[in-house]
Amino acid sequence: MNVVQAIRGCNRVQPLLDSYISNELLVETNYEILRHLGECEECVSILNGRTEARHLLRRAASTVTAPPELEVRVRRSLRGVTAISRRTRPNWHMLAAIAAGLAVLAVAGLGDFGSDPALRLGWGNHMYCTLAGHSLEHTPTEEVMAAKLGAEYGDLLDVVRTRMTDYRLRQAHRCITEGHKFAHLTLQKEAVLMSVSVLVRPGGMSLPQRRGMRASVMQGVEVAGFEAGNYLVFISSNQDRAGNLRAAAMLEPAIRETLRTRSAGLLRR
């Protein structure tokens, strides 16, 4: 197998590894993955890491009792999603999985995000709002979306529309995840769902920058984050890391410029 074939194989196999571990794939796809694993040490290493992470999470979930206040927080978050989605039919299986995952992560301190609570917050906003909270059957007009974003974030519509021309803008509004207020835009390109999430940076929370952007993955969702003045910005999607980082890189300069003057205004208050 030459280098080009290996790269193409990895790009196809790695997004499927979680489903492979869960035995959710067709027999033909399992055979394809097994053939690739027989030739690719990198993907075998990733598979082993994910399998071990699942083992640790299961063990933590079976031995650690969540404190009462955590249950209250999870129930409050679910009620918030239900209120936002009152006119749609929320995906209750997705909500239950998200709630359980957040509970285990909060208690055990485990997961791909490690000690990066900011990226976990961006992931949670994408999971709660884009994947579980809002139906994409109806797309509001841009006037309605601008009104939902308000004066502080309305300019983001132009930024996203002009720079992400391959995507369709599906939703834009303000929402709350884990007590934090977000401006949230949802985009779609075929099977790819992407969130652009912005919030005023909570006290003490930051995104340590490595090569200009911080990135991680959780449950098949890639998250890239960066600071823009007094704001944190997250680009989350179900595409691979390279694709998600390309989208983030396309948006970053314009979003920084759009939010820069607002950050200065916040600091003067």
Give the distance, in angstroms, between the CA of residue 268 and the centroid of all CA atoms in the same chain.
32
One DSSP character per residue, 78-130 reads HHHHHHHTTTS---HHHHHHHHHHHHHHHHH--STTTT-HHHHHHHHHIIIII
Strands across the sheet containing 168-177: 168-177, 180-189, 192-200, 231-237, 221-228, 214-218
Q: How confident is the model at residue 269 (pLDDT cuts 50, 70, 90)?
A: very low
What pLDDT does residue 266 have? 45
Q: What is the pTM assigned to this prediction?
A: 0.59
pLDDT in tens, 179-204: 889 999 999 998 899 999 999 988 87
pLDDT in tens, 36-90: 888 888 888 888 777 776 665 565 555 555 555 555 655 555 555 444 444 444 4
Q: Assess whether pLDDT exceeds 60 at residue 221.
A: yes
Q: Assess whether pLDDT exceeds 50 at residue 107.
A: no
Tokens 């990135």 belong to 215
